[in-house]
Structure 1
Amino acid sequence: RVAKSVGYSNAGTVEFLVDSENRFYFLEMNTRLQVEHPVTEEVTGIDLVHTQLRVASGDPLPFRQEDIRLKGHSIEARVTAQDPDKDFAPSTGKITGWRAPMGRGVRMETHCYAGYSVSPFYDPMLAKLIVRAETRAEAVTKLQGALREFEVEGIATNIPFLRRLCASEGFVNGEFDTAYVGRFLESERG
């Protein structure tokens, strides 16, 4: 409805927060796909990049909002070249080993490989690890397994931190808010 009200016809992202009483708070709308768009692709079955390009080339949107059905749960973890033990300082150098997780319901988007050099001049994101399952609990378990399988050698990454975070009680139980990671870090430093 937000896009329609301003005559916008293409992919976009509406960001909002939901509080513990299910009240919605609008934040912003971006006229582009967000880094997290694979989560939406996984639960809708819609290739958002392909659809965005088709609409930009003049094709009509091939579906209506009411035609979209959500199926399952999806979670994305951003793997970065940052050292969580050094306050997430950047980590640069050559990746000497790269073992990405695979399997049903596991999706990886990356530009990295063994031999790739991580520069200090760009965003530290190395990969997006996306999982999909029928329930949130199954998706959490799948993400935990994928993070255990994920190995990067030669540089520091946030994978060890993501493993701990995704095993934390608040994350597993879905009891978190926008301040959760800060509290989790404080409890680790404790």
Structure 2
Amino acid sequence: VADHGDPDLGVPLARALQVAPGWIETYRELTIAQSGTAPPGMPTAFVLQYLIDPLATVVSAAARLTPFVLSTDPGLWSIGLDPTYLYPVGVQVRPGDHRRVEDDVERLDAAYEAYAATARAIATDLPSPTKMSSLQRLGMVEDMWEISLARLAGAPPPERQSCCLLYALPGCQPCAGCPRRD
């Protein structure tokens, strides 16, 4: 948790849509440097995942492990990135309209609704240099929430609606939970 005066860590979620095009292009270049190719859509899928997975992870963990529903106001959130490979390595949350909810079911439902509203807005409005279907975009929102809950429970990843396209890289297989798995 950061103080109001702390500088943003990495990518301020409130600026995600402005930062995303450069991040997508840089991630595309990194993927080409590492694998020799960057399948169309893959860099955008990864950047979308990198934007909403930390939000899902922290919001669901707070709802499951504490009595709090965290505000998902993008102005309160920043994501720290690995300096070389640009994946999330930290999350910064500022004080805000976080609230205590005593009932476990009500708290998890409220946390999901808050997360989903913010994540859907990011997913829907994310600029992409290639076509990205609404199933891919909104499926990623649901997938990141379900994956975060599975992690908390120590369960394997659930089957996904969205695909990160990792399987399209040379030598890679569909990841656990991939909708393309047989």
What TM-score, normalized to structure 2? Answer: 0.30
Q: Which has the higher contact order (CA 8 A, sep 6+)?
A: 2
Greater share of strand: 1
Which one has the largest radius of gyration? 1
What TM-score, normalized to structure 1? Answer: 0.29
